[in-house]
Amino acid sequence: MRLSIITINYNNKQGLQKTIDSVISQTFKDFEWIVIDGGSTDGSKELIEKNQKNITYWCSEPDNGIYHAMNKGIARLRGSYVLFLNSGDWLIDDNVLKTVVETNPMEDIVYGYVEREIEGVQQRLKGFLHQDTITMVDLYYRTIPHQGTFFKTNLFQRFGVYDENLKILADRKFYVESIIYGDASVKFIPFSISYFDAGGI
């Protein structure tokens, strides 16, 4: 089973460094890493170049926003599952990918907890879904954290890529189309996948 990781970045060198550190320290190594930078001018491009030996594919050029950048990464996918780990987010420990693979995932969407520092304490976020069966009502009130979710890459062939006309809700639209209308299978794994950077959009 080969994994893919897509990281998008724009002028977030400090956050990107955290993401890089967590990815290159993984004990499980059978993954490709795609980094899409939006033409940063803060030194992010130079940081990517410095670490390019660990990156399967990268580019640094202007884009039309978050989902355009994510879709550019999707076009390069070669793994069987993909995780969107954007700059500023990082994997919770060095064994996360190994642990996920050892669960022998078969479902279309496999996800776990994400964590964030709240009042100085790192804790699991409660605002996301934590269950296998998901309804339209569930997705109305909460969503699935993309930083903690592994998607079968063929989902993007079955249901299309993210809607670039939506600024921040295209991932929720994708969940509705794939899970609710497309009957994509879902599995919740009860451990933390990543640390969520609260500074993003």
For the segment 61-85, what is each residue's pLDDT rounded down to a tens digit?
999 999 999 999 999 999 999 999 9
> DSSP states of 64-99 as a string?
SSHHHHHHHHHTT--SSEEEE--TT-EESSTTHHHH
pLDDT (0 to 100) of residue 134: 97
Give the residue among 21, 6, 89, 13 at the shortest CA–CA distance from 44. Answer: 13
pLDDT, residue 200, reads 57
The mean pLDDT of 45-56, rounded to a whole number, is 98
In the predicted model, is pLDDT for residue 143 greater than 70? yes
Residue 85 Ramachandran class (φ > 0 left, ψ -120 to 50 alpha, else beta): beta
Percent of the chain with pLDDT over 70: 98
Predicted confidence (pLDDT) per residue in 72-125, tens digit: 999 999 999 999 999 999 999 999 999 999 999 999 999 999 998 777 777 788
pTM: 0.95
Would you report the helix, strand and coil content of the chain in percent, each value rounded to 5? 30, 25, 40
Place of tokens 């109305």: 140
Under the banding of pLDDT at 50, 70 and 90, the label for residue 198 is low
Examine the pLDDT at 145 and tell me if it is beyond 60. yes
Residue 201 has pLDDT above 60, yes or no: no
Q: What is the mean pLDDT of the chain?
A: 94
The answer, yes or no, to whether residue 176 has pLDDT greater than 80, is yes
User: In this predicted structure, what is the pLDDT of residue 199?
Assistant: 62
- Mean pLDDT (whole number) for 161-167: 93
